[in-house]
Structure 1
């Protein structure tokens, strides 16, 4: 059944929401992220092979752990967005948006009438008919989070028009992709990359669209908080797990070496 979007509530209440990318598509990993205290999880269907049944099970795990499930869909095709939302996602974000028209198409595919043209039928979110569609549609429009990411020069150039699209809630940080687009792969501190990030974040703030930043260097989380980011994406579960395992075995080896 449709529940309150905890991510939207946290942001509307003035709290900085903290999230994690799910790169290990295992329900138990989603549960662990939720029980660890994160506010939202981004199920990365764009980069990780997750089929329809697998996606539903990841979303069920998020529901059990009381963490907001967002899905990074692989494209802006209406049928792709619809499948993610019908599976139970409380928000979607579409990568590589380059124009106002593309952002409008995303909103149109994700939202119900009168804000969009999303397909409508009984399903998981209205309890397979327990909630009347006339009640479900306005509630779903209120609870849904619609986001995009800007990953290249065209998107950065068009950001001022993209963020004025009615029904767009959030823009996601994609600094790594931007570094590649600006010809300096992986150099996230490069002036051109930093300027692009600043331009996107500033456009969001001027137009009342939330910006989700990804702190990668010491002190960046606090800086983004001061500068008004609505949410922080704290890496992905695969890398966090690897670093934790690496540190764990390293500490034991160091202890044994010192004895």
Structure 2
């Protein structure tokens, strides 16, 4: 059933929010992320194979631990936006937003009239009738977030026009794909990439749209905080788990087996 979006509430105030990407479709992992104290999780259906029933159970796991669940959908897929929201997600992360038309299509799929034209449905999000349907439409438009991921040089250049039309709740940076777009794949700290991220943040600030950073180091985090950023994705659970496993083994195996 539709929950209150505490991340959106913090964006309107002064609080910070921290999240993780989650690519392994395991409800137990989602619960662990919530129990660890993160505020939100971005369930990845762009790069991961997640069937609709799995996704619904991942969202249920997030709800069980008061973790706000967003879903990163495949590029230019309004059907995926609809299914994610009907499963109970409190927002969608739309990858590769390059033009205002890309954002308009996502808004149309994610919001009910008069803001969009999301297909009407009942089911679990209105609590199987616990929320009156016209009231659900109103509350869904108020709670559900459209998060634009800017990860292409074209998107950086077009960002003033993208943001000018409104309708976006948060802009998430995508330094990895940005690096490829600028011809320096995986060089996320390259000067061109860093400058592009600063441009994205500046445009968001100019248009009053919150910006979400993905800091790679503690220094990155502190710099974004000093710039006024209050929403952060702190990586992905696969990378965190792999590093923790290697560190744990190294601590016991010792340098003689390196």
Q: Aligned to 2:24, what secondary structure does the other structure show?
A: coil
In 2: Cα distance, 1:25 partner to 1:55 partner: 8
In 2: Cα distance, 1:148 partner to 1:175 partner: 14
Q: How many residues are treated as equivalent by the alignment?
A: 257
Structure 2: segments with no counterpart, 5+ residues: none
In 2: Cα distance, 1:230 partner to 1:205 partner: 12
Partner of residue 243, structure 1: 243
Partner of residue 5, structure 2: 5
Q: Aligned to 1:171, what secondary structure does the other structure show?
A: strand
Structure 1: segments with no counterpart, 5+ residues: none
Partner of residue 178, structure 2: 178
**Does the C-alpha gap of structure 1 residues 202 and 28 become closer, same or farther in structure 2, counting only changes over 3 Å?**
same
**How much does 1:167 deviate?**
1.7
Partner of residue 142, structure 1: 142
Taking only aligned residues, the RMSD between alpha carbons, in angstroms, comes to 1.4
**How much does 1:164 deviate?**
2.0
Matched, 1:107 2:124: no
Q: Which runs of 4+ in 1 moved over 4 A?
A: none
TM-score, with structure 1 as normaliser: 0.95
**How much does 1:23 deviate?**
1.4
In 1: Cα distance, 2:145 partner to 2:58 partner: 18
In 2: Cα distance, 1:75 partner to 1:123 partner: 26
Matches within 5 A, 1:1-259: 1-254=1-254
**How much does 1:97 deviate?**
1.0
In 2: Cα distance, 1:21 partner to 1:217 partner: 16
**How much does 1:246 deviate?**
1.2
**Does the C-alpha gap of structure 1 residues 86 and 248 become closer, same or farther in structure 2, counting only changes over 3 Å?**
same
Instruction: Check conservation: 1:110, 1:146, Cα contact below 8 A.
Output: yes
Instruction: Check conservation: 1:152, 1:181, Cα contact below 8 A.
Output: yes
TM-score, with structure 2 as normaliser: 0.96
**How much does 1:255 deviate?**
9.2
